[in-house]
Amino acid sequence: MDKIIDLHTHSIASDGSMSPAEIVRNAKGKGLAAIALTDHDTVDGVKEALEEGERIGIEVIPGIEISVDYKPEMHILGFFLDIKDYTNISRELGAIQQGREERNKKIISKLNKLGVNITTDEVKSVALGDITGRPHIARILVSKGYVKTINEAFDKYLSKDGLAYFKRFELQPIDGIKVIIKAGGIPVIAHPVFLRKSYVEMDKLLKELKEYGLAGIEAIYSENSKEDTGNFLRLAIKHELLVTGGSDFHGTYKNGIELGRGRGNLKVPYELLEKLRNV
């Protein structure tokens, strides 16, 4: 049987529902050969994941995912960050974290004005880690009965067209890429399918990002059609980009997405990791 991996997962250090160690055990249980922990804007979960991987015998890659300022949305993954020294990125991550806090306050106050009873303390208490965001707010809206699902919370209140949406501070794409390189990591554009671009537009964008230092593209992803994946793989060859793939597992924060399997037929081959490691 071919060895498969998952290079895109979120833990309670950001907006996933499982602890880093639980994700690693879960991956091992599913027979995955390796996983990367890629929490939003933090490396707080990485140490625990690496230790559990070592303990039970599954390869764990230190990673991160950073949202950058681009419409409709652009996220940059970083792999193989230098785990011995995060000090060189702490300033940027601190600024992002502060931007989150400021935005949360605005969202909560807008929700209060709309008659929704929710407090900053509640948001902090469901987050567990330092990263708080819209998924945590969504979870409270569900538990208090204002909406039925996390998806509905986004649709009604938290998405860009939602009643309580506010922008938060984000790095520019070039700076997101640079921060990851500065952290010793390999920058990869996450879920390119969410950029909603035509082949020609994507071609142009990748050329530009490659000049900034982009090294790879997450061509294999839970929400891709077969055609999307084919196009991204072609573009990877054309622009000499590494290929990665992942589920974007968030546990109960994103229903229907399974570790390593995505929506059922995700298959990320181990060979991709070997190429990534040999950069």
Nearer to Fe ion by Cβ, of 86 and 253: the residue is: 253
**Residue of 63, 135, 245, 260 interacting with ligand AMP (CB under 6 A):** 135
Q: 49 near 158, Cβ under 8 Å?
A: no
**Residue placing its CB nearer to Zn ion in the complex, 135 or 260:** 135
52 binds Zn ion (CB under 5 A): no
Residue 187: what are its φ and ψ, rounded to 5°? Answer: -85, 130
Round to whole Å and give the CA distance between 220 and 246: 7
Q: Is 59 in the site for Fe ion (CB under 5 A)?
A: no
- CB nearer Zn ion, residue 97 or residue 109: 97
Q: Where are the beta strands (DSSP E) in the chain?
A: 4-6, 34-37, 59-68, 74-79, 186-189, 216-221, 242-246, 268-269
Which one of 62-70, 124-132, 139-147, 206-214 is the stretch in contact with Fe ion (CB under 5 A)? 62-70
- Contact stretch for Fe ion (CB under 5 A) within 49-57, 92-100, 247-255, 264-272: 247-255
Residue linked to tokens 């880093």: 20
Q: What torsion do the CA atoms of 63, 191, 41, 251 make, to the nearest 10 degrees?
A: -80
- Residue closer to Fe ion by CB (options 11, 231) is 11
Pairing of strands 59-68, 242-246: unpaired
Asked if 147 and 42 count as a contact pair (C-beta separation under 8 A), the reply is: no
Cβ proximity to Fe ion, 7 vs 137, nearer residue: 7
Residue 139 engages ligand AMP in binding (rule: CB under 6 A) = no
| Residues 122 and 107: beta-carbon distance below 8 Å | no
* 226, two tokens: 């077969």
| Count of all residues that appear for the chain in the document | 279
d(CA 9, CA 271): 19
Q: Is 150 in the site for ligand AMP (CB under 6 A)?
A: yes
Contacting ligand AMP (CB under 6 A), which of 86, 146, 154, 221? 154
Query: Least CB distance from residue 138 to ligand AMP, whole Å?
Result: 7
Which string of x and - marks every residue 129-168 that binds Fe ion (by CB under 5 A)? ----------------------------------------
Task: Decide if residue 191 touches ligand AMP (CB under 6 A).
Answer: no
Stretch of 42-50, 53-61, 131-139, 174-182 lying at the interface with ligand AMP (CB under 6 A): 131-139
Q: Which of 4, 12, 13, 15 binds Zn ion (CB under 5 A)?
A: 15
DSSP assignment of 116-133 equals ----HHHHHHHH-SS---
Residues of this chain, 180-209, that bind Fe ion according to CB under 5 A: 190
Decide whether 33 or 141 has the Cβ nearer to ligand AMP: 141
Of residues 151, 67, 163, 152, the one with CA closest to residue 108: 163
Residues that bind Fe ion (CB under 5 A): 65, 75, 190, 248
Residues that bind ligand AMP (CB under 6 A): 15, 40, 133-135, 150-151, 154, 250, 254
Residues that bind Zn ion (CB under 5 A): 10, 15
